[in-house]
Amino acid sequence: MLEYEGTASSCQLDTKILHTFLEYRALRLQFSHTSSEQGYKLIEGVEDLYPLTIGGSKKALDIMRRYIYQYYKESTLEVIDQRFLERFYSCFLPSQLLRVTYKEIESLSTEWTLFFEFIGNRYDKTLLKSSCTAVFKSHEEDLHRILYLIKEVRKYGEVPVLCWEPFIIDMKCYKNMKVKENALDKYIIYDQGYFVIQDRLGNNIILFKNSPVKTFYKIKIDIPLGEEMKMGDIIHMSIKRKLFSTAWNIINVKAYFDESAGEYLNLGGKGNEASKNS
């Protein structure tokens, strides 16, 4: 069933290579878990060709598949370089962190290593295999920091779901939301987009957004949490303030990125690639 014919210049990453790798992983996992009562099967159709397995591997493979389909559809293997992984860890994965656990982040590193080992063995392309662990290690600390921050910063918002994986609801926020559900806010100014942290002043963080001119915003954040934020961090969120107030309040935080994501995001407020993932 597994076919390896073709060269790096002719094999599309999103179809033939990914399709074959997912079959390969399904078979490996099947052999590794023969004692499982449910077992594993391959389903015809590329959309479902990842293993029906447990824990982080299934989630990791699904995230990898969505990343490749979204940004490298119809790309051939020869155009893939180290930027492929940098973009994933800087931009794509942070936009998924509300649905990802620490364990699944570790699983992603393992699955990417297996993926590029698979490619290296069949297409003599070893660059990504050799740099896979190094790229992950360079982002690992910030990924764990961001996973913590996005859950904590969302507590300042008006959306009661703090995290989807595991599913966590802020009951105080939920009750407040239900009270305000039918109320009409008057004299409220709203904004949304990608805001870059520029400074901290006491229990306030100062952010800016370019859309189309550089505009500054002040949001109150408790000092212990604010100390975990770094200058240059990027927050994708919606905010509001009263007409005659200078301080903004968070409505919803969709994603949180470290400074490295700026290379891949359009911070001018237009067609931003991360908005498609959040």
pLDDT digits (tens, 9 = 90+) for 230-239: 999 999 999 9
User: Quick one: pLDDT band at residue 15, thresholds 50, 70, 90?
Assistant: low
Would you say residue 240 has pLDDT above 60?
Answer: yes
In whole angstroms, give the CA distance from residue 52 to residue 43.
10
Q: What is the pLDDT of residue 42?
A: 35
- Helices 127-153 and 102-123 cross at an angle (nearest 10°) of 160
Average pLDDT, the chain: 76
Instruction: Note the pTM of the prediction, 2 decimals.
Output: 0.78
In whole angstroms, give the CA distance from residue 127 to residue 124.
9
Q: Is 14 helix (H, G, I), strand (E, B) or coil?
A: helix
pLDDT digits (tens, 9 = 90+) for 192-219: 999 999 999 888 999 999 877 889 999 9
Spell out the domain ranges in the chain. 13-151
Q: What is the pLDDT of residue 241?
A: 93
Q: What is the pLDDT of residue 83?
A: 87
For 191, counting Cβ atoms within 10 Å of its Cβ (0-12 exposed, 13-18 middle, 19+ buried), the class is middle
Dihedral of CA atoms 100, 101, 107, 112 in degrees, nearest 10, equals: 30
Are the CB atoms for 251 and 240 separated by under 8 Å?
yes
